[in-house]
Structure 1
Amino acid sequence: MQRLLFLFLPLCFLGCTSQQINQTLATVLNGGLTSTDIANGLKEALRIGAQEGAEELSRTGGYYDDLTYRILLPEEVRKVTDRLQNVPGFSNLEAVILKKINQGAEDAASKAAPIFVDAIRQMSIQDAVGILKGDDHAATEYLRRTTSQALTAEFAPVINASLDKYDANKVWLDAASAYNNFPLTREKVETDLGAYVTQRALDGLFLKVALKEEDIRKNVAARTTDLLRRVFAQQDTPN
């Protein structure tokens, strides 16, 4: 069939420009897919990964209950909690802060998803075509490179609001103040808890998206729409 097709194609190209010939060949060789189809397929895959990932992480325990995504305390916080563990009112401080910062991240995940999805729409057709034949996380890494700064700027206020909602910032401020007031404390702590949690929360979100992308690339059953099946079938075909 392919032999007959290539015997017939030259007849179709009579009177066509070189650009039209290249576009026609690309469409035939890609199983009828245009560059726009490929771009839309990748964007759909990322959108699904982002929305599903955000939904999973925004559930109660989405970060905290999964050790892969749990946000651990930064070194400065652990230094404070270790020193205050025998002080009345602070004995359970580490567990309290740990739970609260993860609650803050869970609360923010669902609110940040639309920001993440909007960034996906900015991917160009040229980027998408190149990414299709990339490695298992090529699309996610592209997204990380091009959106991390904007996502951080948008995500940070949501995270800080969530930390305030669960009193994580207040608990940390009280603990840091108590630590700094110890007579022999030489180095004062001024950890920006919001910035730390924001970065770890975004790391978790990108990891979720990467795993979703890998699943769509490798698992035909994960391609839940006709466009995804058609687009990612191209990368299944050996070069």
Structure 2
Amino acid sequence: MFTRIASALLVAGLLATSAPAAHAQTTAAKKAAAAKTAAAKKAAASKAAASKAAAAKATAAKAATSKAAAADATAKAAAAATPPPAPLTEAQASAGIKDALNKGIIKAVQFASEPDGFNLNDDIHIPFPEDAILMKTTLSRIPGMNTLINTFETQLNRAAEAAAPKAKDIFLNALANISITDALSLVTSSSTDAATQFLRKSTEAQLIAAFKPDISAAIDQVGAEKAYAKMTSQYNRIPLMTPVQTDLSAYTTQKAVDGLFILLAQEEGKIRKNPAARTTDILKQVFGRK
């Protein structure tokens, strides 16, 4: 009897001990299952969001492609519907090239005539005469001569600026000699300074002849001749040096004429390449066709 009671108590004790452990295992299993379910739901949600984003991106790309295709089709239709411009007539070409040169001449001469128009423009600044560079280099080593050298170079540019206005009438008169046939060829040329080079051939000798007396007078007036004489006198006293004999008038005249054509070519290039520079209807009509 005692043995049965003891056995019963032992079983009851074992059952009491194992119940909490079993309950804990069950709770842990439930938590693990819940966590797994939540992770699965989160992964499914992320996958759905990614799929939705990809679909939206694909839709946007398709819409953009369709829009671009529609715009291209519209442009092609418009181009097909717009007839090509009528061929340029010789009269239009003549008016256009003369208008372009007229505007270029006025601007070029005006710019060159301004104070420092030559002196401070690197494109047309008149440097120390090339055949007197050795004299310049030699004299620059003598104290006080650098100031004289720099002043002399500035004076050459001042002489060119003073003579520049005379070029205007010579240039403008030359426009009358451009034939209609030449004008058409100049307008359709691929060169950005074709008209300037054409004008140079017909006016350079005349410009030099007209400029030289004014340049000579200006050289004397601004003191360049005196400065040059002082430099050559100093230089020629140096033993074994070959005397310098630069013709200042001829040198400065040629450089001044070269500078005017450089400025004119720049103005012509603007009209040919830059729509904003075509300030008249004939310029837009003639040079806006390319």
Question: TM-score interval w.r.t. the shorter chain?
Answer: 0.7 to 0.9
Name the amino acid aligned to 1:149.
A
Kindly provide the amino acid, as one letter, of the partner of residue 189 in structure 1: V
Structure 2 letter corresponding to 1:133: T
The answer to whether the 8 A contact 1:85-1:93 is kept is: no
Q: Distance in 2 between matches of 1:159 and 1:119?
A: 21
**1:112 match:** 167
Deviations 1:92-122 (A, max 9, x none): 2210111100111111112222212222221
The reply to whether residue 136 of structure 1 matches residue 192 of structure 2 is: yes
CA–CA distance in 1 between the matches of 2:147 and 2:256? 23
Q: What displacement does 1:205 show?
A: 1.1
Question: Given residue 61 of structure 1, which amino acid in structure 2 is its aligned partner?
Answer: D
Question: Which of the pair is proportionally richer in helix?
Answer: 2
In 2, the alpha carbon distance for the partners of 1:198 and 1:174 equals: 21
Q: Which string of whole-angstrom CA distances, capped at 9 and with x for unpartnered residues, describes residues 168-213 of structure 1?
A: 1222123223323x15144221101111111111211111111111
Equivalent runs, 1:1-239 vs 2, <5 Å: 29-30=86-87, 34-85=89-140, 90-134=145-189, 135-180=191-236, 182=237, 184-234=239-289, 236=290
Deviations 1:33-74 (A, max 9, x none): 542231122011111111101111211111111222211112
Once the two structures are aligned, what percentage of the paired residues are identical?
37
Tell me the secondary structure at the aligned position of residue 288 of structure 2: helix
Give the Cα separation in 1 of the matches to 2:275 and 2:146.
Answer: 51
Aligned 8 A contact 2:118 2:157 in 1: yes
**Structural RMSD (CA):** 2.3
CA 1:86–1:211: 2 relative to 1, 3 Å: closer
2:280 maps to amino acid: T
Are the counterparts in 1 of residues 119 and 125 from structure 2 also a CA contact under 8 Å? yes
| Cα separation, partners in 2 of 1:120 and 1:170, compared to 1, 3 Å | farther
Residues 81 and 93 of structure 1 are in contact (CA less than 8 Å); yes or no, is this contact kept in structure 2? Answer: no
SS in 1 for 2:272: helix
State TM-score, norm by structure 2: 0.65
1:201 alignment partner AA: A
The one-letter amino acid of 1:55's match is: Q
Contact 1:64–1:102 (Cα < 8 Å) also in 2: yes
Structure showing greater radius of gyration is: 2
Contact 2:235/2:241 (<8 A) preserved: no
RCO comparison, higher one (Cα < 8 Å, 6+):
1
1:152 aligned partner, one-letter code: I
Conservation of the 8 A alpha-carbon contact between 1:179 and 1:185? no
CA distance in 1, matches of 2:107, 2:238: 50
TM-score scaled by structure 1?
A: 0.78
Letter in 2 for 1:84: L
Aligned length: 207
In 1, Cα distance between equivalents of 2:143 and 2:216: 27
Residues 1:66 and 1:183: Cα distance change in structure 2 (over 3 Å): closer
Take 1:129 and 1:86, find their aligned partners in 2: how far apart are those partners? 56
CA contact (8 A) 1:137 1:210 kept: yes
